[in-house]
Amino acid sequence: MALISSKNPSFLIFFCSPYSLSTLPSWNSNNTDCCSWEGITCDEVTGHVISLDLSGLQIRGRIDSESLFRLRSLQRLNLAYNEFAASPIPSGFDQLTSLTHLNLSRLPFYGQIPLEISRLTSLVSLDLSYTYYRNDSRILPLKLENPNIGTLVQNLSNLSELYLFRVNISAQGSEWGPAFFLSLPRLHKLSLRACGLSSSFYSSLSQFHFLSELDLSSNNLSSAVPSFPGSLHKLILRDSIYSSLSQLHFLSELDLSYNNLSSVMPNFIGNFSSLTVLRLQNCSLSGSLPSFLVNLSKLEHLDLSFNSFSGPIPSSYGNQLLNLKKIVLWNNLLNGTIPSSLFSLPSLQYLDLEGNKLGGRLDIIHNASSTQLEDIYLDRNNFQGMVPSFIFKLMKLRTISLSFNNFSGVVELESFQPLENLSFLDLSDNYLSIKDSGGNSNFVSFPQIRSLSLRSCNITEFPNFLRNQELMGKLDLSNNRITGGVPKWIWKVGNGTLYYLNLSRNALQRIEPPFLHVSFSDGVTLDLSFNKLEGSLPIPPPSTSFFSLSNNSFSGEIPVSICNTTSLEALDLSRNWFSGWIPQCLGKVSDGLKVLNLQGNAFSGTLLQTFKKGCNLQTVDLSENQLEGQVPRSLANCTMLEVLNLGKNQINDVFPSWVEALSQLRVLVLKSNKFHGQITLPQSNQSFPMLQIFDLSSNSFSGGLSSNMFQSWKAMIEEDKSQSKFLHRRLNSSRSIVYYQDTVTIVFKGLERKLTKILTIFTAIDLSNNCFHGVIPESIGILKSLRLLNISGNGFTGQIPTSLENLRELDSLDLSRNNISGEIPWQLTKLTFLSVLNLSQNQLVGSIPQIKQFSTFTNKSFEGNLGLCGPPLSRKCIPPPSVMLTLEDEASELDWKFMWIGFGVGYGAGMGVLFWTLTLWKKGNKEYNKFIDRMLSLIFVPRKYLL
């Protein structure tokens, strides 16, 4: 897009992204006077551009720096928070000699900061913070080596603000010194956060006599905190180490977030009477909220979030901290009710109590008089009753977030109409019923909401007020009871600003044409899954990043035009009736494609054959189709792959041993195909380090299992319960973060179960129903984190390895339908978590152990082993002849004098001894019982009756 000013013809800047046109509509108008365009300020006399502010517009493409540097009168330049093409900072900034403010932060610049910036002697503010960190190894953070930071600032004597967040200046070493500080006599604000500083920097801080704000967070500083200058009023030491700051009574702003403080808040903080801002986020604090905070009478901003504070919120906060504007207590363990005094604070604008255990009814609060409240976050608590009516009287409200509580009753949408500033509304996951009582005309003046979440709100139809929403970016109406068709006007909601639309889990039956024939912003999420939609596949717009139509009734073939959606990160068409060949272009549709899920359709033909180099796929699920052929070796190009599921197809191939090189692979499912041959693993000691689910069941694999097969399966070997989390994909579009949940179906506890949430600590091996033979390797015992082991339906021989006793996390063990012999090792009784055991249809012998978990298993666990005896089987154990002969030999050595004495006392006494002996046999200890058994077997009871 070319822009020419009539007052300044040399002004020519190129932005290549079409999205730039929608974010800068005034630049695309017929008005050639650029001084009236957004972000541009001109000198009233000369007409020259003196200020260019394009920050936060998410502009993509490139800047024609040659044309930019012709703006010789430019005094302020701000390009922060955009998405220009990655490159070094262009040379030539020294041509803008009038610059006083330069902001190039949050841009994908990398490499050395150019020397030319040191010649901008009029600079008052310089911000080069927070360069992008991307997977591309070619993109590196900004650095200051040559020139170093001393050379950069030596001529910037007018500099008042310097922000170098995440600029690598670690190579400075001992070069910090008086010369550096004397170069900046007017410096007031300094941010060197995450710059790789060492403690040597501390020693010279006293040189900054006029320093008022200092951010040294996330560096390698020692615990010895120096004497800061007396002018300092804002100190940020987030994620740093320190000992005490009790001497800094003059501070007005203190941020110690992300430090591991003692469990109790330091008492000296209560003496900082000048504090207006206190941030102690994520500091491992616990106990009750300290009452001494009421001494901070000037406090305006309090953030104690992400700690473990418990108990109620002190009512004194609302009665005495009268200057509070912002309270952030989210993600603690607070309980009780919210003091009504909080809602009466005269200056309170922001209240965040999300993620606690607060409860009670808010609809009984009637004296909420705060007219300044703008944002209320009460999500993820236990509040009950109706949505409080006082909320509808807070005219300045911008945000109402009440999701995941126990609110109930009916809420009329027209109740929110008086809240003219409302832009964020979330009532999801309560027990509410949202009603739309008006027609189209009632909602012409409805507030322009940017984000609306009404998930699980018993909605039966699309709210009419949405027709007039021109700024909406996010709309979530999922898990409701909406029927009929998706109206064609829904695609016009937001007038091109919509980036997230979730209509999943309703009862929608059709999509009214035309479908998606409007322009959307970049990074669009469209989720229509779990409905009753049918027909051919609707093609999403090219800007779509997440597209899910899973669990519907769409049919027909997938057109090749699906590959025009080049921004896709996730494509989920699972559980429909699609048929035909899978378009081969899907293997290379997008550099950013992370999820491809076509499970549960009727696709035929061969698998996708071409996956290009640099493939970023993390999940490939083509299971439950009718696909044939072999597993394409080009999948090895997808080095980020974590889930590969090809189960339940007609694939005819040997085991693809090259997949062991996929170091991130967690789930490999090849079950119910026509795989055959031996498994030759490992090729190296680095194979499958992350593997947690390995399912080859119901194929024709043969041969034995190598003793070193499992040696590198670290995820199954290492016991690390602390890292339990769900396996999912985090998808980053330009406007939102979406999480895709991986699923897999396995046979667990004898039943086929779909794991809709895969824990990273869940581990399983299923080799059942193949042709494996030989002995079960003892090395399987190294898999200490294994939860499920199924090798049933094979030809394994030998004995059950005693090393299985090491699998202490094992929940299900199935060795049935093999040729395993010998006794059941008593070591298996150590598996105390074992809830399912199946040893049936083998050649096991001997008695079944009767202790611990074994006493809970039924006949089915052991049937089909003719040599097994003892409970729960009805077959009682008979000592084998070899044992009886041994007993006879031992009995012959007894002292016969002892026996004759017993008979000499008479027949009656003998019968008494018999009764006494039998009694002890029942109640005695095990060793004595063995002795009595031997006596009885040889003297009193014929052997044939001992069963």
pLDDT per residue as tens digits for the range 216-271: 887 766 555 566 666 778 888 877 665 566 666 778 888 888 877 777 888 888 88
Is the pLDDT at 10 greater than 60? The verdict is no
Residue with the bigger pLDDT between 876 and 533: it is: 533
784 and 900 in one domain? no
Mean pLDDT, residues 816-844: 94
Residue with tokens 């320190």: 242
| 191 closest CA partner among 159, 214, 212, 207 | 214
Cα separation, 235 vs 650, in Å, equals: 65
Cα separation, 904 vs 901, in Å, equals: 5
Strand partners, 731: 738
Residue 277 parent element (H or E): strand 277-279
Residue with the bigger pLDDT between 272 and 684: it is: 272
Give the DSSP letter string of 379-432: -SSEEEESPPGGGGG-TT--EEE--SSEEEEEEEGGGGTT-TT--EEE--SSEE
Residue 678 tokens read as 């031996």
For 112-135, the pLDDT digits (tens) are 888 899 999 999 999 998 765 444
Residue with the bigger pLDDT between 119 and 7: it is: 119
Mean pLDDT, residues 831-850: 93
For 166-221, the pLDDT digits (tens) are 888 866 544 555 556 677 888 888 888 888 776 666 555 656 667 888 888 877 66
Is the pLDDT at 579 greater than 50? The verdict is yes
Q: Last residue of some domain: 846, 869, 892?
A: 869
DSSP assignment letter at 87: B
Give the CA distances from residue 73 to residues 95, 109, 185, 204, 227, in Å, rounded to whole numbers and listed in that order.
10, 24, 26, 37, 42
Is the distance from CB of 51 to CB of 103 less than 8 angstroms? no
741 within some domain: yes
Q: Which residues contact 311 (CB under 8 A, 6 or more apart)?
A: 287, 288, 289, 334, 335, 336
Is the pLDDT at 552 greater than 50? The verdict is yes
887 within some domain: yes
Mean pLDDT, residues 910-916: 45
pLDDT at 757: 61
pLDDT at 682: 61
Mean pLDDT, residues 362-387: 90
For 379-411, the pLDDT digits (tens) are 999 999 999 999 998 999 999 999 999 999 999
Report residue 686: phi and psi, to 5°.
Answer: -115, 10
pLDDT at 348: 95
Residue with the bigger pLDDT between 143 and 32: it is: 143
What b-and-e string marks burial along 553-570, b requiring 16 or more CB atoms within 10 Å of the CB?
ebeeebeeebbebebbbb
pLDDT at 171: 62
Cα separation, 101 vs 123, in Å, equals: 6
828 within some domain: yes
| Chain centre to alpha carbon of residue 653 | 35
pLDDT at 445: 82
| 478 closest CA partner among 728, 738, 735 | 738
757 and 643 in one domain? yes
649 and 593 in one domain? yes
pLDDT at 71: 86
75 within some domain: no
For 41-88, the pLDDT digits (tens) are 898 888 888 999 988 877 777 777 777 888 888 999 999 988 777 888
**CATH number of 354's domain:** 3.80.10.10
Q: Which residues contact 901 (CB under 8 A, 6 or more apart)?
A: none
Is the distance from CB of 719 to CB of 789 less than 8 angstroms? no
Q: Last residue of some domain: 841, 869, 897?
A: 869
788 and 694 in one domain? yes
What is the total count of domains within the chain?
A: 3
891 and 773 in one domain? no
Give the CA distances from residue 403 to residues 185, 427, 514, 922, in Å, rounded to whole numbers and listed in that order.
51, 5, 33, 64
Q: Which pLDDT band, with edges at 50, 70 and 90, does 910 fall under?
A: very low
Is the pLDDT at 654 greater than 90? The verdict is yes
Q: Last residue of some domain: 356, 374, 392?
A: 374
Is the pLDDT at 18 greater than 70? The verdict is no
Query: Which range among 508-512, 678-682, 866-870, 902-906 shows the weakest confidence by mean pLDDT?
Result: 902-906
pLDDT at 138: 41
For 431-487, the pLDDT digits (tens) are 999 998 765 556 778 899 999 999 999 999 999 999 999 999 999 999 999 999 999
Is the pLDDT at 92 greater than 70? The verdict is yes
pLDDT at 26: 67
| Chain centre to alpha carbon of residue 136 | 22
Q: At what angle do helices 896-904 and 907-923 cross, to 10 degrees?
A: 120
797 and 686 in one domain? yes
Give the DSSP letter string of 753-804: EEESS-BTT--EEE--SSEEEEEPPGGGGG-TT--EEE--SSEEESPPPGGG
Cα separation, 692 vs 694, in Å, equals: 7
852 and 886 in one domain? no
267 within some domain: yes
886 and 865 in one domain? no
847 and 894 in one domain? no
The three-class DSSP label of residue 77 is strand
Is the pLDDT at 932 greater than 90? The verdict is no
Cα separation, 473 vs 451, in Å, equals: 6
Cα separation, 350 vs 301, in Å, equals: 9
888 and 840 in one domain? no
What is the pTM (predicted TM-score) of this model? 0.80
Based on its alpha-carbon atoms, the radius of gyration of the chain, rounded to whole angstroms, reads 37
Is the distance from CB of 221 to CB of 197 less than 8 angstroms? yes
DSSP assignment letter at 323: T
Q: Which residues contact 241 (CB under 8 A, 6 or more apart)?
A: 221, 222, 223, 259
Percent of the chain whose pLDDT exceeds 70: 78
Is the distance from CB of 298 to CB of 274 less than 8 angstroms? yes
Q: Residue 935 sits in which domain range?
A: 881-945
Is the pLDDT at 884 greater than 80? The verdict is no
805 and 660 in one domain? yes
DSSP assignment letter at 276: S
Mean pLDDT of the chain: 82
Cα separation, 251 vs 231, in Å, equals: 9
775 within some domain: yes
Mean pLDDT, residues 359-379: 88
423 within some domain: no
Cα separation, 755 vs 209, in Å, equals: 62
Percent of the chain whose pLDDT exceeds 90: 48
Query: Which range among 37-51, 327-341, 415-429, 897-911 shows the weakest confidence by mean pLDDT?
Result: 897-911
886 and 768 in one domain? no
301 within some domain: yes
Give the pairing type, strands 213-215 and 189-191: parallel
Count H helices and E strands in the chain, helices first.
Answer: 10, 60
